[in-house]
Amino acid sequence: MKVVVALVRHETNTFSPLPTVLGSFSRGTHGSGPVYADDAKQACLNTNSAAAAYLDLAEKLGAEVDFAIVANAVPSGVVTREAFDSIADSVVASVKKGCDAVMLDLHGAMVAQGYPDAEGELLKRLRAVLPVGVPIVVALDFHANFSRELIQNATIITGYCTYPHIDIYQTGARAGKTLQALLKKEVEPVILWRRLPMLTHMLRQTPAMQPMKDIMDRAIAAEADGRVLNASVFGGFPLSDIPYAGLSVVLVVDKKKKAQGKQLLDELCNLAWERREDFIFPIEPLEQSIARAKQLADGPIILVDHGDNCGAGGPTDNMAVLREVMRQGLKNVVAGPFWDPAAVGQLIQAGVGAEVTLDIGGKTDVPALEIKGEPLNVRARVVKITDGNYIVTGPMFTGMRLSIGKTAVIEVDGILIFVCEKPQEPYDTGLFTHAGVDPAKKKYVLIKSRQHFRAGFGPLAKHIVLVAGPGVCSSDYSQFPFKHLSRPIYPLDENAQIGQGEEIV
């Protein structure tokens, strides 16, 4: 037996000004783009990835593995046609050599030039060269958006049940379990899918809390008691101007239990729709959030700037929240990492101990939202320079080797500021500890994130204050010039009805 495995992940924020090229796909590999064959396998082994679960399953089955590619990029703007074709070509080339199953570790919210559902296009290309009946197994991020193409060309689909995403390996293992049953001819998987006409706010999506908790819990219970083979609820990625954005439920059911599956699909979708108002995050003005944080006595207080989060396509160089923190005089703060390769270069040249006056961040405009970059001019002392490399020890992406590139730690009026070459969402405290800075000992930790920080920073937080900084990840969807969404869609259109989404049942 032979399986083809591939990991291709990108969450595309179509409003992001950052282009996504082939070289962007180097997350977790420290490389300058995707890695292939044995390098790809080595990058995934023993990590919290679906691909690692596939490798373990292949070993258990005694199957030969052709690991086509690991192409993993930090969220950013639309993927170039050239990058997408190159990635897709390498998976197609492996599949063409012949295999008994294809096992994919994908994101589900990738948009490439000309392909609003890039994963759907990838699967279509694979189907075109695969003999009839060869299963395609797909593990997807909780933020996947679905077109019919993706559903119709997959055999088995599972999604993460967590946000922060800490069950990525299990998501691959759940799909693998169904694949095993299929290979033994014990089941005949059929996919049921419905996308609701609703954009949820990412700050209200987490299955750890309501309104999503009950919905996800019911899905997990149905999979556990065998009513369905796999049940996944997808919050969807709302910052994507494509017809497929929205909350989806995807069930893999045994053909003879299709009626039961349909019942579950209705139950989960109806519950999500009834709760649509609860998926809206009310926005507090930035100045008020910082003033509220200033009144809190004990730290660490995690200040989460959720408007410019590179984990959802933000450039990570908007300085508005740090500027406000300084204006209101918060002390004992560590902030960052802010993305500014030019400033890092300047600081390296100045050297540790030097005093420098320079502009930090604010170098990227966001034309889609008419935001102009505004650098923060500071007089800073260079405290430390690092290579930015660390290994994740927290629960999300555990074991993955990550890098924020060359990094400068500077001090400005008692505030430690991290400036880096490569943007990265703070899932893990290694971002700071690799430079000898312990965030647990700071009163305030200012980071740019939305939910994923909870994996690494949640356990040390005495308080968490969500701060609505400006940027492409804003929860104020009325700011975004959507043109291609399927309309009507809630909450942009109050009159949207549950039946106005899309489904395959």
How far is 240 from 111, CA to CA, in rounded Å? 8
Does residue 141 bind Zn ion (CB under 5 A)? yes
Q: How many residues bind Zn ion (CB under 5 A)?
A: 2
Q: Which two tokens stand for residue 51?
A: 């691909």
| Nearer CB in complex with Zn ion: 442/452 | 452
- Minimum Å gap between C-beta 292 and Zn ion is 28
Q: Nearest residue by C-beta to Zn ion?
A: 143
Read off φ and ψ for residue 403, nearest 5 degrees.
-145, 140
Does residue 425 bind Zn ion (CB under 5 A)? no
Q: Which two tokens stand for residue 323?
A: 């500027």
Of residues 41, 1, 58, the one with CA closest to residue 175:
58
Binding span for Zn ion by CB under 5 A among 27-35, 140-148, 368-376, 394-402: 140-148
- Window 82-121: contact mask with Zn ion (x via CB under 5 A): ----------------------------------------
| Nearer CB in complex with Zn ion: 53/350 | 53
How far is 26 from 282, CA to CA, in rounded Å? 35
Q: Which two tokens stand for residue 356?
A: 């420098």
| Nearer CB in complex with Zn ion: 200/386 | 200
How far is 253 from 504, CA to CA, in rounded Å? 13
How far is 109 from 126, CA to CA, in rounded Å? 18
- Minimum Å gap between C-beta 258 and Zn ion is 29
| Nearer CB in complex with Zn ion: 141/428 | 141
How far is 288 from 164, CA to CA, in rounded Å? 26
* CA atoms within a 13 Å half-sphere pointing along the CA-CB vector of 227: 16
Burial class, 336, CB count within 10 angstroms (exposed 0-12 / middle 13-18 / buried 19+): buried
Residue for token pair 């910082």? 290
Binding span for Zn ion by CB under 5 A among 134-142, 218-226, 267-275, 377-385: 134-142
| Nearer CB in complex with Zn ion: 18/347 | 18
Collapse the DSSP code of 142 into the 3-class scheme (helix H, G, I; strand E, B; otherwise coil) and give the result: coil
| Nearer CB in complex with Zn ion: 16/407 | 16
- Minimum Å gap between C-beta 143 and Zn ion is 4
Binding span for Zn ion by CB under 5 A among 92-100, 133-141, 149-157, 270-278: 133-141
Among 27, 41, 143, 450, binds Zn ion (CB under 5 A): 143
Residue numbers of the site for Zn ion (CB under 5 A)? 141, 143
